Amino acid sequence: MGLRLLVSAPGFLSDFSRLLFRLQPETDPLIHVHLQWFAAEDEGRTEEPTEHKLRKAREEGKVAKSAEFTSALVLLFGIATLGILAGYLLRNAADMIRYFLVKSCELDITRDRGLTMAFYTYFLRLVVPTMLVVFVAALMGNIFQVGFLFSAKPITPDFNRIVPRFGRFFKRAFFSGEAAFNLAKSLFKIVVIATIAVINIRVRIPEITNLVTAPLLTSLKLVAGLAFRIIVEASMAMLLLAIPDYMFQRRQHRESLKMSRQELKEERKMYEGDPLIKSRMRERMQELLTRNMMRAVPQADVVITNPTHFAVAMEWNRQLMEAPTVVAKGADEIAARIRELAKENEVPVVENKPLARALYQEVEIGDVIPEKFYEVMAMILAEVYKLQGKTAEAV
């Protein structure tokens, strides 16, 4: 083992070398039932759901969403489509009636299959535009609430949902907060729609009373316009109602996913590992690190001790290191083992309590020492040279 010193290197190497040549030490420092049927507190589930459980529930299609929002969106877009395409639909309906009335006098409807094709043609013309719009509206309503998600789990037959505990089921269905909210929501919808209808009809009462003497088309136009206005305003009111309903559904969803303390412990044990196994793995890892660390002690240039509590082995390789590097360190029993290995391999052991403690606490194995330790390390290496009968010029 030899001490190495790079005098011509910049930075630490030149500063440390200058200190080493100048300093001469004067002293010698040495289940399986769906719990969402029931309230969380009834089952002892008081803990908030973990991210894993929320993610798993989403993968199974269990998400918070408001059916009111989707229904109102479908209704609004559907009636808007009927209003926009009213002329197109009326023309096709009139053409269809005219066609079948004419054909009914010319063909044998029991034998002529052309009528079937004509029926499907008119049916698609009348139905497909509105169907496409409401389908897109329903799709966007769900995507807006839960994002892009596809899962066949909700429609998969599951006999575990047939719960024989009907008492709790009826309690939740008729005497729970959710039942009260649904009842209030239904009553509110009835009141809102009735109010909208009454207001619109009351404004048009004079015109409605004159329909007795009005032409048929005028009557149809008035009634259709009034119905269209009522449906549009009702659907917009339902959209506003969907906001508190969605917030309530989110709260109920999280409530249904709450966990008991035991479930929380089991999930942590499953996905974070058994604490006993993790402890044994840490012990094994520590043994491997200690074993590898001990192999580096014989190649160290000096071991700095506390002298009994801490031991830090230092190495400085001029070819690989910019500054002295900690290659091993330990406290108590490990420190004693480092000192033993140092003595067995004739590695100088220097006692310096403040430096040993500081290096142990601040520098990790494999890291170079900070600049604030340069001067004291220069003194220690100079002392090591003196003990080995070497001079700085000879290194």
Q: Give residue for tokens 């048929």.
A: 216
Diameter of the chain by CA atoms? 130
Q: Which residues contact 198 (CB under 8 A, 6 or more apart)?
A: none
**Of 363, 355, 361, 371, residue with least CA distance to 322:** 371
**Considering the entire predicted model, what is its pTM?**
0.51
Q: Sign of dihedral through CA atoms 380, 385, 386, 388?
A: positive
DSSP string, 79-125: HHHHHHTHHHHHHHHHHHHHHHHHHHHHS-TTT-THHHHHHHHHHHH
End-to-end CA, the chain: 12
How does pLDDT run along the chain (395 residues), one tens digit per residue? Answer: 333 333 334 444 555 555 554 544 444 443 333 444 445 555 567 777 777 777 877 777 778 788 888 888 999 999 999 888 988 998 999 999 888 888 777 766 566 667 778 888 899 999 999 999 999 998 888 888 877 777 666 666 666 665 555 566 566 666 667 778 888 888 999 999 999 999 999 998 988 888 888 888 888 889 988 999 999 999 999 989 888 888 888 888 888 788 877 877 777 777 666 667 677 777 777 677 677 778 778 878 888 888 778 888 888 776 777 788 888 888 888 888 888 888 888 888 888 888 888 888 888 887 888 888 878 887 887 777 677 665 444 33
**Of 372, 349, 348, residue with least CA distance to 359:** 372
What domains, with CATH codes, occur in the chain?
Answer: 12-30+276-394 (3.40.1690.10), 63-256 (no CATH)
Tokens of 266: 């089991």
Q: In which element (H, E) is residue 311 found?
A: strand 310-315
CB atoms within 10 A of CB 360: 19
